[in-house]
Amino acid sequence: MSLLTLRSAVALCLGTAVLGACHSDREIAVRVSIPDAESRETPAAGVGIIALPYDRDSILASLEARAQTPRPQTATLDTLFAHFRGPFTRYTDISYRASQLRDSLDRLRNGRDSGSTASSPQLKQLADSIRSLDRQVERARGELDRARVEFVSRSEAPRAAIRRWEDSTYRGYDSIVENLARSQGRDAVTDTTGSTGWAHLTLPSGRWWIYARAWDTSDPNAEWYWNVPVQEDTVLLSSRTGRRRPRY
């Protein structure tokens, strides 16, 4: 490129910067992974990804600082969550083991049909193990159902108190972020992770934060939460970059 051509290109870029013609949009890849039933970091599908042109945590913190009353105590709910997690985890663990054994039995049967050396005693032993686990699953399901009834009846009032406090404290949040987006001329950009845990966003120039939430598979009353500034073209949302927090 000649010096004259280079100068012309620079002038064109500077002259149209307001219109965003130079270095305007960039492609961002976001991957979400969370621990599975065996605590292995696993891609998470169906997670909503939201790119925001502001730091939502700082806005929430400022609203909380101006709250007229302190946040309701959560000790009662934390105790209820811990008690409910026991029967929930037992049920999901046994169900997962039964599903794994069932998959193994299907593979052995299919392999035997294809001429593998799987023996009848092997198949019988595996089938017996599955029947034993199925009985354990039924008992664990009964324990979970009873625990759920008690949990719902005792958690309803403290959860309602927290919701009332949040509704009052965060009442101005929508107006604040709408004004921020309007003043910057940038709206939120969204996508949803696919089967491999990836989502892709096209972001205009400026500072951005990636916000996402995913259910914690080990606890129905907890979630993974991310509010991560975009610093590179690839953003990894995992148990290392997010926070595991209660879902009050």
List pLDDT tens digits, range 108-153.
888 765 555 566 788 888 999 999 999 999 999 999 999 999 999 9
- Whichever domain contains 230, its CATH number is 2.60.40.1120
Task: Kindly provide the b/e burial profile for residues 2-31, where b requires at least 16 CB atoms within 10 angstroms of the residue's own CB.
Answer: eeeeeeeeeeeeeeeeeeeeeeeeeebebb
Residue-number span of the structural domain to which 123 is assigned: 75-169
Same domain? For 88 and 156 the reply is yes
User: Would you tell me how many other CB atoms lie within 10 Å of the CB of residue 49?
Assistant: 23
Same domain? For 159 and 196 the reply is no
| Overall number of domains in the chain | 2
More confident residue, 108 or 84: 84
**Cα distances (angstroms) measured from residue 171 to each of 34, 71, 135, 166:** 31, 15, 49, 8
Supply the pLDDT for residue 112: 63
Q: What is the pTM assigned to this prediction?
A: 0.80
**Cα distances (angstroms) measured from residue 136 to each of 82, 93, 184:** 22, 11, 57
3 state SS of 39: coil
Residue 33 placed within a domain:
yes
pLDDT exceeding 70 applies to what percent of the chain?
A: 88
Same domain? For 36 and 84 the reply is no
Q: Are 56 and 209 in contact (CB under 8 A)?
A: yes
- pLDDT above 70: residue 43: yes
